[in-house]
């Protein structure tokens, strides 16, 4: 697992795999939703991640609060989910 760390929002990850057309679609949706930058977590060849996420990828994950948004999602759903995540973080 080699997550990227450049300018990512704290605790926001996209869990995906190589050669995944749905993951490519999810990237386009995230760009349209204008979410902050995020870390990418590749599940390929990581048994624990394959077990947890193999049938679910792509998954958007808030590592601070644990909330996850499974595919399929559109830009509107991503924005609403992100707003809920941020509200929960502020309420802590």
Residue 66 to residues 19, 24, 33, 44, 45: CA-CA distances in angstroms? 26, 23, 20, 21, 23
What mean pLDDT is reported for the chain? 91
- What's the pTM value of the predicted model, to 2 decimals? 0.86
pLDDT value at 5 more than 70: no
Domain assignment present for residue 26? The answer is: yes
pLDDT at 4: 41
The model's pLDDT over 12-56, given as tens digits with 9 standing for 90+, comes to 999 999 999 999 999 999 999 999 889 999 999 999 999 999 999
Domain holding 87: CATH number?
3.40.30.10
Q: How many domains does the chain have?
A: 1
Q: Where in the sequence is the domain holding 58, given as residue range(s)? A: 12-91
**Residue 80, both tokens:** 């609403």
| Residue of 23 and 2 predicted with greater confidence | 23
């Amino acid at each position: 697992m080699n997550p990227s760390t450049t300018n990512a929002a704290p605790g926001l990850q996209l869990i995906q795999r190589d050669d995944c057309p749905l993951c490519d679609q999810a990237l386009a949706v995230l760009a349209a939703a204008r979410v902050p930058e995020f870390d990418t977590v590749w599940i390929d060849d990581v048994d624990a991640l394959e077990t947890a996420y193999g049938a679910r990828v792509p998954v958007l994950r808030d590592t601070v609060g644990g909330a996850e948004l499974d595919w399929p999602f559109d830009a509107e759903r991503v924005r609403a989910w992100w707003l809920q995540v941020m509200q929960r973080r502020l309420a802590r």
